[in-house]
Amino acid sequence: MSNIKKVVLAYSGGLDTSIILKWLQDQYGCEVVTFTADIGQGEEVEPARAKAQAMGVKEIYIEDLREEYARDFVFPMFRANTIYEGEYLLGTSIARPLIAKRLVEIANATGADAISHGATGKGNDQVRFELGAYALKPDVKVIAPWREWDLTSREKLMAYAKEHNIPVDFAKAGKKSPYSMDANLLHISYEGGVLEDPWCEPEEDMWRWSVSPEKAPDKPTYVELEFKLGDVVAVDGKALSPAAMMELLNKIGGANGIGRDDIVENRYVGMKSRGAYETPGGTILLKAHRAMESLTLDREVAHLKDELMPRYASLIYNGYWWSPERKMLQTMIDASQETVNGVVRMKLYKGNVYVAGRKSVSDSLFDEKIATFEDDAGAYNQKDAEGFIKLNALRMRIAARKRHR
């Protein structure tokens, strides 16, 4: 007999997690608590309640976490201008620590013995969920069915569902989806199908959030983003919550063909993986935030942030959001944002994002009197540059003399 009496399952109500629910009940003889999160995936989450009830689940958690996700996870990440391997804006990675946190909190609240998830043994998500859970509850028991069962194909999953009368939409489930998709407020990802051949171009009808650049409007769209302490607080003068801001920027960006990306990335488990991503709002936000920092951050602070960012990005990608080193870096990053206040005007046109203007009344470090090509009225003594250059060239001049003796 298993000593597991109750398990909290991250539950979407789809084929995989519905099968996992039944498998946990049969394999472990335990009670299952379901947890379904709305993090802006654009699909109704309430139907998961009826499906869970039909399978005998008594404790069902369905939660709207959109604001917490945007405020406490997406925004802090963007303060660092985070991008993994030069391209990926980490839309899937940054959602996992929030889900892990709630799994642990619900386990504590319900007295559960374990948590469970539907991530496979090949991917990054198993690492992200479990590293987060262990960081927050060191002795937590994690059940990962994909690492235990023999249901290794979609056909086997379908057969299991039929055999056990699992309430799945078989008409929909029986038609094999060409892609594995994951969506939230920050992005939607696509893997599998034709994307498994890195030479194959993504099919146009795959994309859900954006029009193609060719079909985007022939007239540019301008949008103004107001920053306070490094976060966007208003769009075109209208104050918005973090989640509402992300939703609006996704809509505006998608309409202008912005945010598509096609990447071959290095998974933490060691394999390369090809995926396509749509991140319209995040693409705009990253460009705008860097523009705001260019005006308000000290040079050495900005350069140090850029040096630290790849390390910070890897920590998030690999599942170390709750680690002490990520928290330490976050403290440094957040301290740098005290002066990142002002407005950036963005120009969006056929898949491209341009900075059309930036201003900061109180925190701009741009001094027009010094930077001007016109008469600066003595604000900058150009003769000072001679000594500056010679001192910086000293070590190279000494080495050159040695070589030419």
- For residues 168 and 174, the answer to whether their CB atoms sit within 8 Å is no
The set of residues, in sequence order, having a beta carbon less than 8 Å from that of 62 and lying 6+ positions away, is: 36, 38, 45, 46, 48, 49
Catalytic positions, please? 16, 96, 125, 180
- For residues 145 and 24, the answer to whether their CB atoms sit within 8 Å is yes
CA distances from 288 to 91, 104, 282 (A): 18, 35, 10
Residue spans of alpha helices (H) in 230-296 = 242-255, 280-296
Q: Report which of 332, 322, 325 is spatially closest to residue 98, judged by C-alpha positions.
A: 322
The set of residues, in sequence order, having a beta carbon less than 8 Å from that of 148 and lying 6+ positions away, is: 27
Q: What are phi and psi of 287, to 5 degrees?
A: -65, -40
Token pair for 38: 């709305």
- For residues 293 and 341, the answer to whether their CB atoms sit within 8 Å is no
Tell me, rounded to whole angstroms, the distance of Cα 146 from its chain centroid. Answer: 24
